[in-house]
Amino acid sequence: MGQKIGLISVFFSILILCFMGGQSYAAELEVGKDKMYETISQAIEQAENGDIIKVYPGNYKEKLEVTKSLTLESIEKDKAIIEGDKQKHVITIKSPNVVINGFTIKGSGDNFLDNDAGILIDQNNDAKIINNVFEDVLFGIYIDSSEGNLIKDNEIYGFKDKKFSERGNGFHFFNSKNNTIDGNIITDVRDGMYFDHSDETVVTNNKISGIRYGLHYMWSNDNSFKNNYFSNNVSGAAIMFSKRINLEQNIFENNRGYRSFGMFFQTVEDSVVENNLFFNNTIGLNSDLSRGNIFRKNTIVQNDIGMEILGSNWDDVIFENSFVDNLQQVMVNEIKMNDQWYYENRGNYWSDYSGIDIEKDGIGDTVHHSGSAFEFFMYKYPHFRLFVESPTAKMLQTVDKMFPVMERAEVIDPFPLLEDLNSEAFLADIETETSKKAGMITFLVSLVVVSLSISLLVRISIRFGR
């Protein structure tokens, strides 16, 4: 009888193993005070591929090298702190399919030659870096020769008290592709996201502020940027030497300074800029040495210069954009331009267009000339902007429209749109009088300065006349 039971047990054991197919289940290793492991490094050493390491709140002063496919998970978001010794990287990932979730990561080195970072993904793929906070690190996450990574819902706070040249980048991608970057917050670094020879990446829903370039882009193709917010940077985005970039529904706001931009293109080809907001920047959008790009349905409002398109561009198509109350709607530097400011008989909306629409087709009956004599003088002599809202400027613009005698670079839109179809969704909660108010304040200040100067000259002449 006992023999039969034994044979039956063996039979069922074999049957169970067959159904399981040799499948093994992930073990969970706990790290923390009064747990099986006191340090994360001990748990990594004992873990097998696929295991989950759960870390309880505490300050773990250690550097980690992950050489297995593991999940490292903080039990409470931000409460488990991994603090390096300010030498090299805090966490180095040297295996595929690693997950780092919910930690505070701080204390990297500050050596640019070694690209010291909070996390280095070192030539391995499919990492997931989620819900972490980075503090006191040179680079937040450095992705080296890697693909298929997900970087989501992290916060990166750089060296606020250091100069831009002494800070690293929030995310730095080198020779990487097919990554997904979503929902991150980055501030006080050098450049928010830096792409170097990195292709086929999707970047969505990130907020980047208080840095040099929100997005810095070199020799990287076929990438998509959607619903990102770039504000209060030296420049929102610098897209350079790249092809087939898609920028859609991003906001570039309050990026100001000498020659600051919401976004600038430098040697960019075959890309699409659509449905973005450029609001209250020094220059909303600049393009130089670029070709074959489409700028469509963007809202360009209350910038000092709405759009600067240089004569080095060619074969760009610019249509259905809304140019609203910029101090200078557009600036061009060549009398003969190689770009087209309309498509299929649809041009752009210009808030300063004064034509009529007798045919009621939504298109002005006369062409729109953007580029008055006063704007020409502003281009030649930038200090003329001090008088942008002055009666003299208004008079010069009016006379120039009636008697155009000066040959100058200008944009001619043969099909100006009569209705602004773009800005309502963007501007519902934004005060859009900034630039006009700034212009009036500038004029009043200039008037006071001129009056005081005249008064001083009169006093001097009276005194020396005596």
- Bridge-based pairing of strands 128-130 and 317-319 is unpaired
Q: What pLDDT, on a 0 to 100 scale, did the predictor assign at position 26?
A: 83
Average pLDDT across the chain, whole number:
86
The enclosing domain of 82 has a CATH number of 2.160.20.10
What value does the mean pLDDT take over residues 64-78?
Answer: 97
107 is a domain residue:
yes
In this structure, are residues 427 and 301 in contact, taking their beta carbons and an 8 Å threshold? yes
Q: What pLDDT, on a 0 to 100 scale, did the predictor assign at position 406?
A: 56
pLDDT tens digits, one per residue of 196-218? 999 999 999 999 999 999 999 99
Identify the band that residue 334 occupies on the pLDDT scale cut at 50, 70 and 90.
confident
Partners of 289 in the beta sheet? none
Length of the chain: 466
pLDDT tens digits, one per residue of 219-233? 999 999 999 999 999
* Total number of domains constituting the chain: 1
205 is a domain residue:
yes
Highest-confidence segment of 267-281, 327-341, 345-359:
267-281
Q: How far apart are CA 118 and CA 141, in angstroms?
A: 6
Identify the band that residue 438 occupies on the pLDDT scale cut at 50, 70 and 90.
very low
58 is a domain residue:
yes
pLDDT tens digits, one per residue of 247-258? 999 999 999 988
Partners of 246 in the beta sheet? 224, 272
Q: How far apart are CA 37 and CA 31, in angstroms?
A: 5
442, pLDDT greater than 90: no
How many Å from the N-terminal Cα to the C-terminal Cα in the chain? 137
101, pLDDT greater than 80: yes
In this structure, are residues 408 and 373 in contact, taking their beta carbons and an 8 Å threshold? yes
Long-range pairs, 205-209, Cβ under 8 A, ≥24: 206/181, 206/182, 207/231, 208/170, 208/233, 209/233
DSSP 321-347: -EEES-SEEEEES-SS--SBS-BTTB-
In this structure, are residues 308 and 302 in contact, taking their beta carbons and an 8 Å threshold? no
405 is a domain residue:
no
Q: What pLDDT, on a 0 to 100 scale, did the predictor assign at position 150?
A: 98
184 is a domain residue:
yes
283 is a domain residue:
no
Identify the band that residue 274 occupies on the pLDDT scale cut at 50, 70 and 90.
very high
Q: What pLDDT, on a 0 to 100 scale, did the predictor assign at position 19?
A: 44
| Higher pLDDT among residues 424 and 213, named by residue | 213
What value does the mean pLDDT take over residues 3-23?
Answer: 49
**386 burial level (CB within 10 Å; 0-12, 13-18, 19+):** middle
Q: What pLDDT, on a 0 to 100 scale, did the predictor assign at position 435?
A: 46
Q: What pLDDT, on a 0 to 100 scale, did the predictor assign at position 285?
A: 97
Max CA separation in the chain (angstroms): 137
Q: How far apart are CA 230 and CA 282, in angstroms?
A: 14
Q: What pLDDT, on a 0 to 100 scale, did the predictor assign at position 22?
A: 45
174 is a domain residue:
yes
User: What percentage of the chain carries pLDDT values higher than 90?
Assistant: 68
Predicted TM-score of the model (pTM): 0.83
Q: How far apart are CA 351 and CA 56, in angstroms?
A: 58
237 is a domain residue:
no
Side chain identity at residue 330, one-letter code: V
User: What beta strand segments (E) does 210-282 contain?
Assistant: 213-218, 224-226, 229-231, 235-243, 246-248, 251-253, 261-269, 272-274, 277-279
What value does the mean pLDDT take over residues 57-86?
Answer: 97
User: What percentage of the chain carries pLDDT values higher than 70?
Assistant: 78
447, pLDDT greater than 70: no
What's the Rg (C-alpha) of the chain?
Answer: 30
What value does the mean pLDDT take over residues 114-127?
Answer: 96
315 SS3 class: coil
What value does the mean pLDDT take over residues 109-118?
Answer: 94
Give the structural domain span for 95.
25-211
pLDDT tens digits, one per residue of 302-321? 999 999 998 889 999 999 99
In this structure, are residues 134 and 117 in contact, taking their beta carbons and an 8 Å threshold? no
Q: How many CB atoms lie within 10 A of CB 19?
A: 8
